[in-house]
Amino acid sequence: MKRIFLFFLMLSVLFVAGNAMAVEWVAADQKTIGWDPVSTLATGETIPAGDAIVYRVYIKRDGQAEGTMIANSVTATQYTLTLDQEGRFFVGIQSVRVYTVDGQDLMSESEIAWSDIPANCNGNDFGIVYLIPPADVGGIGAN
């Protein structure tokens, strides 16, 4: 009896852990992605006056380690992503601090925050699935 109880206990732990790590997939060919504005440095200090924060938007296929930058200097805290290739994708956002000295822009960048990491998404990690639609129906007639 004790073994049966332990078996079901272990099974339920695995089931709960598996569901806790499940990515929510959203089917879309276009999706607006939003994020919180960055207002501090990695040390927690406020960003100095005169410095600018811009964002880079990345996309990567499910299973790939590296992403591709699709937008370089986004100033808003949202971006509308349009997919044209079928597949499952994750979105990444990187903040970039721009400091201008003597007319030259110097930059410092954060790590890329990916949408498949729950800590980056308030626990609601997600991915986007794009499926090419089927052909239109033809040959319609009354029977």
Domain map (residue ranges) of the chain: 19-130
Contact yes or no for 60/90 (Cβ under 8 A): yes
pLDDT in tens, 75-132: 999 999 999 999 999 999 999 999 999 999 999 999 999 999 999 998 999 999 999 9
| 3 state SS of 16 | helix
* Superfamily designation of domain 19-130: Immunoglobulins (2.60.40.10)
| pLDDT the model gives residue 3 | 55
Q: Is 50 left (phi over 0), alpha (psi -120 to 50) or beta?
A: left
